[in-house]
Structure 1
Amino acid sequence: MTMSINIPGGLPRARVRSQTVSGIVAMIIGIGLLAALVAMPWWAGQGTIRSVVELCCYIAIAQMWNLLAGYGGLVSVGQQAFSGVAAYMMFALAQNMGVNPFVAVPLCLIAPAILAVPTYALLHRLDGPYFAIGTWVVAEVVRLLTTNFSYVNAGAGMSLRVMTQYSAHERAIGVTILCALMLLVTVGGTYWLLRSRYGLALTAMRDNPVSAASQGVNVSRLRFLLFVAGAVGTGLAGAIYFMAQLRITPDSAYGPQWATVAIFIVMIGGIGSIEGVLIGSFIYFFADRWFGEYGATYLVVLGVLTLLVALFARGGVWSLVNKLVDAPWFPTRRVLVSGGGQ
């Protein structure tokens, strides 16, 4: 996509390119993959569908963490608070209140949005590791409250028995459609945001928040909006993930593994890039499938790999790819192509 700019004074007209061939190809492939995802109940088995749903949730959660840390400078290790509270809200609406479970998924997003407001008000004055520790403390508090809340069966957890009224095929259709919408909201929404007029402000805030503020960017408001958006997106992924699992407990919903997975994916793939999230998600997904049986050794290897990337390739795998070929899948830059005509 190009845009012409008329320059007064007889100077050549400039053309600004905001789309690339690689971006168009990636968009076509992405639409095809979303269509294949929605059609999975008609061509894939239940095990494959469950694995793909899990991968989609990893992508969504990692992208929301990437939005917070990569652009807002908000390093959180407590995003599981939002995935857990949304999932529990969905279970309560569907199992205890009789709401259609597929309708309960969008309705439950009000819970992480509400939780994000006081959380940010409490923690926004903290920086760096203090903010990160604060988010973990909030997640632990929410976990403890849930463990002692009898309405959601306390520490014993809940089963989504209401889903038995639907056949396995019907459940698969509903979950895959929700997954496709989740990817459109989290990945597509982030791409739209970065290409909008707010994208420049986010990029400036990522590079230097002090300088961005001096140029008129309302850093505090943008960080607050990013925090709430990240909470809602993470909550959506949590609700869909546990809907597919049909069971939830406080330890599984609020476990630190959610933050660990998001951090690993973003650091390995490349912080501050949508492409990096996709690459990192696939790396983690297949590594977990192939080497997860090795337990503690496998986790140590993942930790060491993350440390090495942070030390020697801070841009992750995507930065290494960029050094070989400049072909962004989600182009957000505006490039002056040439002048031409009067």
Structure 2
Amino acid sequence: MTMTAIPYADTEAPDVLVERQSRSGRVAMTLAVLGLIGLAVMPWWASTGTIRSVLELCCYIAVAQMWNLLAGYAGLVSVGQQAFMGAAGYALFVLAQTYGINPFVAIFLSLLVPAVLAVPIYFLLHRLDGPYFSIGTWVVAEVFRLTASNMPIVNSGAGMSLRVMKDFSSFERNVAMSLLCAFMLLVTLGGSYWLLRSRFGLALIAMRDNPIAAASQGVNVAKLRFLIYVAAAVGCGLAGSIYFMAQLRITPGSAFDPMWANVAIFIVMIGGIGSIEGVLIGSLIYFIADRWFGEYGATYFVVLGLMTLLVALYARTGIWGLVSKRWDAPWFPIRRKLVHRKL
């Protein structure tokens, strides 16, 4: 019996391709790189007051993005991330002021504190669910505040001043702050973008949509939530140490101020949870509103709260969600799209 060879299937390139980048994404990436360069060279084009304002905005962006990772992907709604900001801030002051370590080196050493503290805190709280987890994170932040108020090494409730910064000129401090701002955004925003585009990002998106289904498909939900919690703690610690270095003073009330959690929630809810674009939009809205209407005190906070409530009720995807429904032009695309190959 003669066997007839069957030809293989057509080996030409497929008619569809997997696309992970878009034209809007390439434009946004170019602008982001230019923005980071602009931040790094601020001392040569901006005043000290402008640099301090930009630094504050960068801290809002970093903290909000860390909260966005926690709530938007890991499903961990924390209202106590200020615990890690204050812990890193105090670590910086102790290392620089008490032990004489260069303050710009101490910033990076201070990140060990939130990284170490986040491990036992997570294992203490991870069994709590929903609002109980949120309340637990707030309680932890208050414990940190009370502890700092009674620790002699941090001057108890009187707080600490970073007097060693007088050894550096104003220009040197501005250069350091500008570089740290660029580094902070590169780590928090750039790191988040890289993570979401990796295979871990696919697992995070699956976990966000349905943790039970993700676990049934092999995603280690518990491990991912733990890693995200620690990473968010370090990111908030970085923002805290940079912010309080610029302030030159830290107290228990300012270090562990729950207002940071409120700001992060407002930014993410208004801008759009689960998106980097939403964090940028929400941060700009809060920053401008704070500059224009912050003098109105309690009334101003009531308005911000009502805005958050209205968005949560009627536009849960935030401003960026409304925009993306009308125009499919993501700034930081993380989806994989099938497109027809041009012949």
TM-score, normalized by the shorter chain, greater than 0.5: yes
The code of the aligned residue for 1:54 comes to E
- Percent same amino acid among aligned pairs? 69
Alpha-carbon distance in structure 1 between the residues aligned to 2:25 and 2:330 = 6
Name the structure 2 match of 1:171. 173
Name the structure 2 match of 1:249. 251
**Computing the radius of gyration over CA atoms, which structure comes out larger, 1 or 2?**
2
- Identify which of 268, 271, 293 aligns with 2:270: 268
1:83 aligns with 2:78: no
Name the structure 2 match of 1:111. 113
Residues 144-196 of structure 1: CA deviation (Å, up to 9, x unaligned): 01000011111000110000000111001001101111100000000000001
Alpha-carbon distance in structure 1 between the residues aligned to 2:253 and 2:101 = 25
- Identify which of 58, 61, 77 aligns with 1:59: 61
Alpha-carbon distance in structure 2 between the residues aligned to 1:257 and 1:205 = 29
Name the structure 2 match of 1:34. 36
Name the structure 2 match of 1:93. 95
Shift of 1:339: 4.8
Alpha-carbon distance in structure 2 between the residues aligned to 1:28 and 1:76 = 33
Name the structure 2 match of 1:9. 9
Shift of 1:263: 0.3
Name the structure 2 match of 1:233. 235
Name the structure 1 match of 2:337. 335
The code of the aligned residue for 1:173 comes to V
Residues 14-41 of structure 1: CA deviation (Å, up to 9, x unaligned): 3110000100000110111111111111
Name the structure 2 match of 1:294. 296
Alpha-carbon distance in structure 2 between the residues aligned to 1:264 and 1:232 = 21
Evaluate the alpha carbon distance shift between residue 339 and residue 21 of structure 1 in structure 2; reply closer, same or farther with a 3 A threshold: closer
Alpha-carbon distance in structure 2 between the residues aligned to 1:9 and 1:269 = 49
Alpha-carbon distance in structure 2 between the residues aligned to 1:280 and 1:340 = 38
The code of the aligned residue for 2:274 comes to G
Residues 61-118 of structure 1: CA deviation (Å, up to 9, x unaligned): 0000000000000000000000000000001001001010000111100000111001
Alpha-carbon distance in structure 1 between the residues aligned to 2:253 and 2:10 = 68
The code of the aligned residue for 2:10 comes to G
The code of the aligned residue for 1:134 comes to G
Alpha-carbon distance in structure 2 between the residues aligned to 1:153 and 1:168 = 27
Name the structure 1 match of 2:313. 311
Alpha-carbon distance in structure 2 between the residues aligned to 1:217 and 1:240 = 35
- Identify which of 208, 211, 226 aligns with 1:206: 208
Alpha-carbon distance in structure 2 between the residues aligned to 1:21 and 1:107 = 40
Name the SS of the counterpart of 1:337 in structure 2.
strand
Aligned residues: 334
Task: Give ranges in structure 1 of 5+ residues lacking alignment.
Answer: 1-7
After the TM superposition, list the runs of 4 or more consecutive aligned residues in structure 1 that deviate by more than 4 angstroms. Answer: none
Shift of 1:42: 1.1
Alpha-carbon distance in structure 2 between the residues aligned to 1:90 and 1:10 = 63
Name the SS of the counterpart of 2:75 in structure 1.
coil
The code of the aligned residue for 2:310 comes to L
Shift of 1:264: 0.3
- Identify which of 44, 48, 51 aligns with 2:50: 48
Alpha-carbon distance in structure 2 between the residues aligned to 1:320 and 1:43 = 36
- Identify which of 157, 181, 184 aligns with 2:183: 181
The code of the aligned residue for 1:9 comes to A
Task: Give ranges in structure 2 of 5+ residues lacking alignment.
Answer: 1-7
Name the structure 2 match of 1:142. 144
Name the structure 2 match of 1:190. 192
Alpha-carbon distance in structure 2 between the residues aligned to 1:337 and 1:108 = 46
